[in-house]
């Protein structure tokens, strides 16, 4: 042990320095206060951590693993395209579609229109005046609706196209 003022060597438990007369109690009490404070801070941090774990296990975790059907978000269908207009002989319209499952409802006047899913797993159609079909798009692609040409002399087609994305969370 050394004096807190002059640094002289002291016998263990000495209350005063024999060289300068400085009381050594201040050193002992401040060391005890610093150590005690560190213990209290450590205990407080452990207590806060314990409370956080208890709250996480009892409140947050059940919400993350809740298998109740009522707790899941509902699966819905969303209309992503609702178009109507005139397609002249040989004219076509196309719409970009992200990957997903779709339902198409099409009506067309006169000789009808063709439908092609580019990037989808569905075959192109022959000219039709009415069509209701579904298609899975495994990657981004497009829907192409065409009024087929009749040597430039064919009739215009009044067309309606409704595309619904099926099963969105």
Neighbours of 40 (CB within 10 A): 10
Give the Å distances, CA to CA, from 84 to 35, 49, 101, 102, 149.
Answer: 80, 61, 22, 18, 19
- Return the closest-CA partner of residue 25 out of 11, 35, 13: 13
Q: 48: buried, middle or exposed (CB in 10 Å: 19+, 13-18, 0-12)? A: exposed
pLDDT band (50, 70, 90) for residue 54:
confident
Collapsed DSSP state (helix, strand, coil) of residue 112: coil
Q: Report the pLDDT value the prediction gives residue 71, as an integer from 0 to 100.
A: 60
CA-closest candidate to residue 163, choices 92, 104, 78, 101: 104
For residue 28, the model assigns a pLDDT of 46
Helix (H) or strand (E) holding 114: strand 114-118
Question: Which of 131, 161, 130, 159 lies closest to 147, judged by CA?
Answer: 159
59-76 pLDDT, tens per residue?
666 666 655 666 666 678
Provide the b/e sequence for 140-155 (b: ≥16 CB within 10 Å): ebebbbbbbeeeeebe
Percentage of the chain beyond pLDDT 90 is: 46
pTM of the model: 0.55
């Amino acid at each position: 042990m050394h004096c807190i003022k002059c640094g002289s060597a002291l016998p263990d438990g000495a209350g005063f320095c024999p060289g300068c007369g400085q009381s050594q109690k201040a050193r002992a009490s401040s060391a005890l206060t610093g150590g005690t404070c560190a213990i209290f801070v450590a205990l407080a941090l452990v207590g806060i951590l314990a409370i956080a774990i208890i709250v996480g296990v009892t409140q947050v975790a059940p919400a993350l693993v809740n298998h109740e059907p009522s707790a899941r978000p509902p699966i819905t269908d969303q209309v992503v395209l609702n178009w109507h207009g005139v397609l002249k002989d040989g004219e076509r319209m196309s719409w970009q579609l992200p990957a997903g499952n779709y339902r198409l409802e099409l009506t067309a006047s006169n000789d009808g229109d063709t439908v092609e899913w580019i990037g989808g797993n569905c075959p192109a159609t022959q000219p039709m005046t009415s069509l209701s079909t579904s298609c899975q798009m495994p990657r981004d692609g497009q829907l192409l609706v065409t009024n087929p040409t009749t040597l430039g002399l064919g009739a215009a087609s009044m067309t309606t196209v409704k595309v619904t994305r099926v099963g969105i969370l």
